Structure 1
Amino acid sequence: MLPALAAMVFTALLPNLDQWRRHELPVLPAAADGSVTFAGARVTLVELSPAQLTTYGDQPFELPHGVMAWRAVLRLESADPTLNDYCEIALEDAAGRVYETGADEISRARTDFATCKADASPAPGASPTASASPTASASPGAAPSPTSGPDAASGSRVYETVAYFATPVGTEAVAVRLHFPSDAYHDYRLTPQG
């Protein structure tokens, strides 16, 4: 009976242990240009703003009392986005608290799964050379685009991924943290550029 009880307690605490572990990792800042380069991908935070969410039926989503939603748009540049490492994306507030994606408070809103891994296929209805919308991607949260903008490296593809977070009302979001499972010893911190 005691081993079963210990297993239940450990299972209940596992998400909290992971969150505690993530807070203890050294956080590496972005480069001078505001980007982080990891596993062949250059990642930049292009937007961090309060979000107006919708339901899957495209109706306005009503947040629970005392909760606000945030939207982070990451720009990823890579020669082959399908080879990028997966990442966990978290929001950091001015007090240093970290909020994960997938919060229960916004789970019924239209919030795709966001990661640094892209699907190389174009968005539904888009031509292979058209730029895709982040919310219309065939891969949850990641919108591939063959764009080679002025700051894109030669031969690179540029795409965006959008992450959503729930925080208490009044939270001041200041950065996004990336955690790559293949680098278990660091988190990477991105602040909005511009």
Structure 2
Amino acid sequence: MRGPDSLGRGWWRRNVWGLLAVVPAFVAMGYASIYNDLDRWERGEPKPVAAAADGWVDFGGVRLRLVEIAPATDLKRFNREPFTVPQGIVAWRAVFEIQASGPEVPFCSVELEDAAGNVYDDRPDELSRADADRATCAPDDSPVPAASGRHQAAAYFVTAAGAEPVAVRVTFGSVDLARYARLSR
């Protein structure tokens, strides 16, 4: 008959090689987790790609240029009746021009930046009943298609009444998550 002490030593003897194999696997998983967190942390604050002197930003194989940021005073409902934003907020329309180097334009996300550094998403809930589509960079949705490969896209935002929009940020989903094109006035 075996005593309690021999059971413990027998288990360790039978499983020592398995444990030696598992320990490095856990260390590798911990390292990968820390590395991914550091990578996410570094990408957490994307860096702007500023425009050249001519106003164009080269980013992700696409050239972008801000055409205008203006109050969106002509919004309509889906039934073509006028749309009024709630009191205390202002609706904005940003129009930007896109020139792709090839036939494909990557999926984009668009944000508005105000003078205080606040960032607003495209097509917020306050505009859900307005006939204002979410911005895309695809040429099919362009109000002004051109033979030169240039087209325009429009994005709609809302801010508090006192906010002053100064730039539009454009990111491409799978191109470069650590940077964005900053299109300023």
- Summarize deviations over 1:109-128 as a string: whole Å, max 9, x none: 01112122222xxxxxxxxx
Q: Paired residue for 1:55, among 71, 77, 82? A: 77
Matched, 1:74 2:67: no
Matched, 1:186 2:168: no
Which shifted more, 176-185 or 32-41? 32-41
Distance 1:177 1:36 in 2: 11
Shift of 1:63: 0.7
> Higher Cα Rg: structure 1 or 2?
2
Shift of 1:38: 2.5
Q: Give 4+ residue runs of structure 1 displaced > 6 Å after superposition.
A: none
Q: Which residue in the other structure is 2:54 paired with?
A: 33
Paired residues, number: 143
Q: Which residue in the other structure is 1:24 paired with?
A: 45
Which blocks of at least 5 consecutive residues in structure 2 are unaligned? 1-41
RMSD: 2.1
- Summarize deviations over 1:88-142 as a string: whole Å, max 9, x none: 11000000100011201111101112122222xxxxxxxxxxxxxxxxxxx3xx3
Distance 1:188 1:62 in 2: 31
Matched, 1:110 2:131: yes
In structure 2, relative to structure 1, the CA distance for the partners of 1:25 and 1:84 (3 Å cut) is: same
Q: Which amino acid is the alignment partner of residue 56 of structure 1?
A: F
Contact 1:84 1:116 in 2 (8 A): yes
Q: Paired residue for 2:107, among 70, 86, 89? A: 86
Shift of 1:79: 4.8
Distance 1:54 1:115 in 2: 20
Q: Which residue in the other structure is 1:146 paired with?
A: 146
Partner secondary structure for residue 126 of structure 2: helix
Contact 1:45 1:191 in 2 (8 A): yes
Which shifted more, 105-114 or 91-100? 105-114
Q: Which residue in the other structure is 1:100 paired with?
A: 121
TM-score by length of structure 2 reads: 0.70
Which blocks of at least 5 consecutive residues in structure 1 are unaligned? 1-20, 120-138, 148-155
TM-score by length of structure 1 reads: 0.67
Distance 2:86 2:60 in 1: 38
Contact 1:39 1:84 in 2 (8 A): no
Matched, 1:167 2:159: yes
Contact 2:167 2:184 in 1 (8 A): yes
Distance 2:169 2:43 in 1: 10
Q: Paired residue for 1:43, among 57, 64, 89? A: 64
Distance 1:107 1:32 in 2: 37
Which shifted more, 157-166 or 70-79? 70-79
Distance 1:33 1:187 in 2: 18
Q: Which amino acid is the alignment partner of residue 85 of structure 2?
A: L
The percentage of counterpart residues that share the same residue type is 42
Distance 2:133 2:44 in 1: 24
